[in-house]
Chains A and B, each alone.
Chain A
Amino acid sequence: MNLDQAFNTFLEESRELLADLERYLLELEADPNDSELLNALFRCVHTVKGAAGIFALDHVVAFTHVVENVLDRLRAGTLGLDAELAALLLKCRDHIDALIERPSADQLDEPLRASDAALLAALAQYQEGGEAAAAPVPVQAAAPKVEVSGGGVVGGDTWHISLRFAREVLAHGMDPISFIRYLGQLGELRYVTTLSDALPAGDDFDPESCYLGFEIELYSEADKATIEGVFDFVRELCQLRILPPRSRLSEYMQLIRELPEGPQRLGEILVASGALTEAELAEGLRLQQEQRQREDAAKQPIGEVLVAQGVVQPELVSAALSKQKQSRERQAQASRYLRVQADKLDRLINLVGELVIASASVGLNAAKSGDADTQEAAAAMSLLVEEIRDSTLQLRMVPIGETFSRYQRVVRDVAAELGKDIALVISGADTELDKSVVEKISEPLTHLVRNACDHGIESAERRLELGKPAQGTVRLNAYHESGAIVIEVSDDGGGLNAARIRAKALERGLIRPDQTLSEQEIFQLVFEPGFSTAATVTNLSGRGVGMDVVKRSIEALRGTVELLSSPGQGTTCRIRLPLTLAIIDGFLCRVGDASYVVPLEMVVECIEFSASETEGRDIINLRGEVLPFVRLRDYFGVDGAVGRRQNIIVVQYAGQKAGLVVDELLGEHQTVIKPLGPLFAYLKGISGSTILGNGQVALIVDVPALIGRLTQHDDALAGRRLPRTGAAAALPAPVAHH
């Protein structure tokens, strides 16, 4: 990037900022007191001014400075925005737009000069006390001096750089830290000492002025001009001293003398940062003493060093621009996104689905043809198709963090209402999931978060009695697990009381007195309609609506929800949702004459099935582990020849494993999920269908449902073999869940 390019970048970015400015102004007309917008407005102009300063566009700086002053008063509320002022500011915007293209004030043509003067006059009445524009910031120039060097060579192999920033540097939109970061790119920052000695105490401290200084040890191959070049843009706004590696002691002493902190303090800093040893410092101070005596005798500066000035390095321009860019990016974050209608995206995903099927068909035919070139071309294409598939699906994926952060407000409000002290801790905010899922999950999550605050967290007094911190914690966590996203809402409250839930369920007639239920099953009762254990009904929750709605919404997304709780420790509500909806990597297998697809991410392994080992039970011993299995042939009632060598596909979901017995393994297959029609909506065990390359239909096995049935209704399943009807559609109605 050269300077011209940098200037073009400046122009481009300034124009974008000015476009934002216009938008903000128009939005402000609708709501003139929106402080966010007023701030944004101010920042736009401020950033343009800062950037213009970098390119020495003084005429732009002068004009924007006046505009900035007016905006500052708007921001502070000492001035109100009326239609007249808004119109004037819009004109100013157009004027700035015209100004930035002129490299210097000399090139302003007559109409431009006239409008400049007119606008400034118009702006003057909005200035504080109607005063004229403030004079440009005075410039501090430091003329480095060099004296005859005395003493030996000291210092290590590092450059020593002393920096003191002027007060105004921040106001000019420059951040000293960014210069140090950039300096770090020239070599290695061995040690940085930050000097805050100039920081005033009490209210004398102006947070928008800079009081910082730095002493830097830099190891670098770069030459002095390059290092100086780093600071070109703040040259006038900082005192810069650079000592090359192995400088003479006297040069360090000179440095110490010139800097404002005093010899004692600076001496310590130089020793601490490894520039000088203690002995060298002592020697230096002694020499300095002698020199001072000599100087008193004959005062004569030996000479002045001419430092190569104005060597502008393009990298530097970009470094200085980066600050401008950052703030612009912050402001324009929304505009970096492209709004696309969801149905266009859906259509694209649909087409990609068709493309995947078509490419599978091409691959199949290529394999049949036996022509090596065709096969190669087909393979290359299928790789590309796979990438297109992934990136298309990625389009719909958004991190869940945005949704999570919304609950900060919910927790704060709920906590205030309940008089509790509750903190929300968020983790896994980067976890991505499908946009449509995010939208649908936010409502149930709100319920759960409110519930956690209300029922989960005890009152502060109760917590202290129990020896817990008074502040309760609600956690939101998300992570990926075998093709699903897991979202957890947990609290460190009292936990669920299984006995109370059971009693309540009995009272409501949800269970029979003689029913034996595991703890997990009892917890699941909470999700039954009309169930609430809260002793008191509060404004927020506990009216018995909520948990059943939560469960319904999650199941509508093909997800599951479970509660984990330990008394006194808290409760975790764990939601599992499928990651996405349209295309998956599948594992193709054959049962009889029908093909089935098992989602690949749920497949753990495949093992050979031998009927003799099972002794008639639907369980095998998998390396010491009990593995229940289901014969898909029986389950789906498929006809056709039994394969000579049956296999078990071991699948895992939600930490539970199960086996599926199939006739033949056909390998991986990209599967485009075609939803089943409403007729089959209540079909359990099948989650969708897909079309194979040869045009045949394969059914997608609903592994979570199968595992759920196997593990929860183990015993019942043994006695319920399906009749062989030969048609998948004739499956019996699902077993009712409690």
Chain B
Amino acid sequence: MTEQNFVFDPEQGRLRLSGELTIYQAAAAKAALRQALEAATTLEVDLAAVTELDSAGLQLLLWLKAEGVRLGRTVSLVNHSEPVLAVLTLLNVDRALGDPVVLSSRTE
């Protein structure tokens, strides 16, 4: 069973998500994102360790960006993991999210 992890570092303004980001984690993840939004003016969300992203997870990321704009926070998503990138590129939301993503040359 995957441990859900939202490690927030208020000084760095860095939130590290790991494990699955799916419907099962959605409620907890939203709480963590909300808390991070409130604590930091500049928020960096590290997705390097996200192993799965579903529609619920995607919505969370879209919501986070929208909330950032609404509340006047700078929110950036960084270090997109492979599973995250796969979803973002399939659905062409990478541009909507507006963060530079690093394309991997690895073929899997």
Contact = CB atoms under 8 A, between A and B. Distances in A.
**Best-buried of A176, A199, A207, A212 by chain B (most CB within 10 Å):** A207
A212 B96 CA distance: 13
B54 A177 contact: yes
Interface in B67-91: 67, 70, 87, 90-91
Interface string A175-201: 111101100100001011110100101
Contact of A202 (B12, B56, B62, B67): B67
A191 B92 contact: yes
B29 A214 contact: no
Contacts of B90: 177, 180-181, 184, 189, 192
A207 B60 contact: yes
A399 to B, nearest CB: 15
Contacts of B70: 201-202
Contact of B92 (A40, A165, A192, A210): A192
A374 interface: no
A43 B24 contact: yes
A371 interface: no
Nearest to A40: B1
A524 interface: no
A36 B24 CA distance: 12
A330 B1 contact: yes
A208 interface: yes
A331 B63 CA distance: 28
Query: Number of contact residues on B: which range applies?
Result: 20 to 34
A39 interface: yes
Given A170-B55, A199-B63, A202-B67, A194 B30 contact: no
B96 A208 contact: no
B27 to A, nearest CB: 6
A212 B34 contact: no
Nearest to A191: B92
A175 B55 contact: yes
A211 B66 CA distance: 14
Contacts of B34: 203
B50 interface: no
A535 B92 CA distance: 55
Given A214-B91, A330-B1, A330-B2, A205 B30 contact: yes
A180 B24 contact: no
Given A175-B55, A194-B93, A207 B27 contact: yes
Interface string A321-338: 000000100110100000
B58 interface: yes
B26 interface: yes
A327 B20 CA distance: 11
A272 to B, nearest CB: 9
Interface string A194-234: 10100101110101101110100000000000000000000
B25 to A, nearest CB: 9
B87 A177 contact: yes
B8 to A, nearest CB: 13
Nearest to B89: A192
Contacts of B96: 194, 196
B35 interface: no
Interface in B25-59: 26-27, 29-30, 34, 54-56, 58-59
Nearest to A331: B1
Contacts of A210: 55-56, 59
Interface string A597-627: 0000000000000000000000000000000
A207 B24 contact: no
A211 B59 contact: yes
Contacts of A181: 90
Contacts of A471: 12
B66 A170 contact: no
A472 to B, nearest CB: 13
Interface string A160-178: 0000010000100001111
Query: Number of contact residues on A: which range applies?
Result: 35 or more
A207 B56 contact: yes
Nearest to A179: B55
A578 B26 CA distance: 44
Nearest to A37: B1
Contacts of B1: 36, 39-40, 330-331, 333
A39 B62 CA distance: 26
A4 to B, nearest CB: 29
**Best-buried of A36, A170, A194, A211 by chain B (most CB within 10 Å):** A194
B24 A176 contact: no
A608 B32 CA distance: 69
Contacts of A201: 66-67, 70
A212 B93 CA distance: 12
A180 B93 CA distance: 14
A36 B19 CA distance: 14
Given A177-B54, A205-B30, A207-B27, A192 B91 contact: yes
Nearest to A326: B52
A199 B66 contact: yes
**Best-buried of B2, B29, B30, B54 by chain A (most CB within 10 Å):** B54
B54 A39 contact: no
A205 B63 contact: yes
A438 to B, nearest CB: 21
A177 B29 contact: no
A51 to B, nearest CB: 15
A331 B24 CA distance: 12
Nearest to B30: A207
Contacts of B93: 194, 196
A194 B1 CA distance: 30
A52 to B, nearest CB: 17
B91 A208 contact: no
A738 to B, nearest CB: 43
B82 to A, nearest CB: 13
Contacts of A39: 1, 24
Contacts of B62: 196, 199
A39 B25 CA distance: 10
A199 B70 CA distance: 13
Contacts of B23: 170, 175, 208
23 contacts: A36-B1, A39-B24, A170-B56, A177-B87, A177-B90, A178-B54, A192-B90, A194-B58, A194-B92, A196-B62, A196-B66, A199-B59, A199-B63, A201-B67, A201-B70, A202-B70, A205-B30, A207-B27, A207-B30, A212-B59, A327-B24, A330-B1, A331-B1
Interface of B: 1-2, 12, 20, 22-24, 26-27, 29-30, 34, 54-56, 58-60, 62-63, 66-67, 70, 87, 90-93, 96
Please provide the 10 A-B residue pairs with the shortest distance between their CB atoms, ordered closest to farther: A207-B26, A207-B30, A194-B91, A196-B62, A176-B55, A175-B54, A194-B93, A177-B55, A170-B23, A205-B63
Given A199-B62, A207-B63, 17 more contacts: A170-B23, A175-B56, A176-B55, A192-B90, A192-B91, A194-B91, A194-B93, A196-B66, A196-B96, A199-B63, A201-B66, A207-B29, A207-B59, A208-B56, A210-B59, A330-B2, A471-B12
